[in-house]
Amino acid sequence: MENHGFIRVAAAIPEVKVADCAFNTAQIKNLIAKAYSNGVQAVCFPELSLTAYTCADLFLQKQLTQNAEQSLVQLLQDTKEMPVCFIVGAPVEHNFKLYNCAVVCLQGQILGIVPKVFLPNYAEFYEKRWFEAYSLKTPVTEIKYANQQTPFGTNILFEAADQLTFAVEICEDVWSVVPPSSYHAMAGANVIFNLSASDELIGKQQYVKSLLSQQSARCQAAYVYAAAGFGESTTDLVYAGNAYVYENGKLLAAAQRFQYTEQLIFSEIDTELLTAERKKNTTFIAHPVPENYHIVSATTAVMSTERSEWRHPKQPIAISRTINPTPFVPSTAQYNESCDEIFSIQVAGLAKRLVHTHVKTLIIGVSGGLDSTLALLVCAKAVDKLGLPRQTICGVTMPGFGTTDRTRTNALQLMKSLGIQIKEINIVPACEQHFKDIGHDPKIHDITFENTQARERTQILMDLSNQMNGMVVGTGDLSELALGWATYNGDHISMYAVNSGIPKTLVRHLVRWAAETQLDDAGKANLLDIVDTPVSPELLPTNADGGMTQFTEDVVGPYELHDFFLFYTLRYGFTPEKIFFLAQQAFKNNFDDAVIKKWMQVFYKRFFSQQFKRSCLPDGPKVGSVNLSPRGDWRMPSDASAAGWLG
């Protein structure tokens, strides 16, 4: 079983007793064993976890530092059969100075010791009273600690199998103007562990989370943070036991605060995702820092970095993190704000084009389906923003052989509620004439039968735009572009495509959001019925009851799956094997493996074969991180082979 670049990491919060190294070491050992049983490959403990953080002047007692060292010797012995890399905090003496350190260990060996760079200077806790700060400029040296010779210094990278390279910083380091982790990331670290002991203040937790999220995103790395918790002295301060796992700015796991028992949180880091992000981001390079900076340059940091290598046994990993089945849809927490922003981007793009072209009318085909509904709502908001009358918009509904009463009624009702110009043009006579002209039997409901209608509709819209000094607004969405589910030189073409950056799964949510927030009760009911209408081009004749006989997802597959495939193909460039693995996790309660595989094959076949349609797309606004514009985001030969992906 492939791990697909996933590495399981953890943050552990043990119960501690101040200055009781034996007790603390026993708690740490239990959590290492727990991490091992859960398949964790690297686990981080809080700052000074061997002694507890709040020992104050006891740190200046030789007995305490000796006890910590001896406890580590015993811990190494007790865990040498567990292939789990663990990082504990300890006070370490070197050259007659005491340093607040992170000790990185694996199977009885100390891989390296990392001292703290920035020491807090607060009235309530003056760490400089006991510890020496360590300079980023100081070269890595070697010291003897816990009966072992080991690297000692800030610039140490720890390399492991499966693309894992991690580094360590301690608490205050991440609060600095330029944290050590920034240099570590430029030197190659894709995971940062932070041993912390941040006390609680009103509002501080949200600031810490924001800080960690931003540093994780800035470094395009995972960030694992473990802070001191229950058992620390409460003489003047309280420690809540905060622990977080971030990946490129996204929170994957968090501890419960103010717990009175030990905690272990873990999640999987996707190292392939981080690698993909760094490859695409041209600002992520290990370039030299300008000479006027009084810090070590990135080049020097790379050259002076000591490399300590460890290998974790290759083993299958069961994903515990949640894989979102709808990656394009905003999360619940930011749903309204995100929908409003997406809608505003579409509106702003169209408004600028309307002002630039000096046209008098926006021409849009309105089918009563999701895509044209969203595009029409964007048109209405754009003219409102520009102070233009709604009559600037001309909505055209063009019933054909497969148009149902439901969609036709919804289209007309929507246009009336928005107060725009309405035209209804039946395309059946024109299509029948065209069938005669080209010698096609209208009883043969093939691709010619379908595309004749699509191109007739586009011809009507284009000719109306000439007649009315207008601009045709396209309605096709990102998912249709990915699958090529559009008639070439038919609905494939417009003068500005407002939905070209919106995938189908998101279109449905945006229309529902508009129903809830933008319209009155009558308009809301209309939009919600459109949302509930099955997706269909309505190009094949209706049944005896006037109902739909053509359903898009029966032909091309569920858009929920295709949007998932599209996101991970374009956003991160993952292999089909990995995307299939992720889809298994995301859709385990909805689709079995055979169904996922079937529609994934359809996705790759269509995505490659239909590139020629995307090579000549009309302009349209980019909305998210995934887009198919041939002028910027996706430049692909139209005759590229899908064999490597299908294989």
DSSP character string of 338-356: HHHHHHHHHHHHHHHHHHH
Q: Under DSSP, is residue 552 helix (H, G, I), strand (E, B) or coil? A: helix
Q: Under DSSP, is residue 623 helix (H, G, I), strand (E, B) or coil? A: coil
pLDDT at 521: 79
C-alpha to C-alpha distance for 358 and 542, rounded to whole angstroms: 41
Instruction: For residue 186, give both structure tokens.
Output: 């430029």
Chunk the chain into consecutive blocks of 10 residues (it has 647) and report each block's average pLDDT, rounded to whole numbers: 83 94 96 94 96 91 92 95 94 94 93 92 74 88 92 87 83 92 88 92 88 95 95 86 95 90 94 90 58 27 45 63 93 89 94 95 96 96 96 97 92 95 97 96 94 96 97 96 95 96 95 88 86 80 76 88 96 93 94 96 95 94 92 89 89
Residues with a known catalytic role: 47, 116, 171
pLDDT at 292: 28
HSE at residue 529, side-chain half, CA atoms within 13 A, is 15
C-alpha to C-alpha distance for 435 and 461, rounded to whole angstroms: 20
If you compute the radius of gyration of the chain from its CA atoms, what whole number of angstroms results? 31
Among 147, 40, 5, 19, which residue's Cα sits nearest to residue 91?
A: 19
The H-or-E segment that residue 151 falls in is: strand 148-152
DSSP character string of 161-210: STT-EEEEEEGGGGGSSS-HHHHHHHHT-SEEEEEE-PPP-TTHHHHHHH
Q: Cα dist. 499→128, 155, 179, 476, 552 in Å?
A: 58, 48, 41, 6, 18
C-alpha to C-alpha distance for 74 and 32, rounded to whole angstroms: 14
pLDDT at 122: 66
pLDDT at 308: 56
pLDDT at 125: 64
Q: Is residue 83 within 8 Å of residue 106, measured between CB atoms?
A: yes
HSE at residue 275, side-chain half, CA atoms within 13 A, is 13
- DSSP collapsed to 3 states, 10-27: EEEECCCCCCCHHHHHHH
Q: Under DSSP, is residue 415 helix (H, G, I), strand (E, B) or coil? A: helix
pLDDT at 376: 97
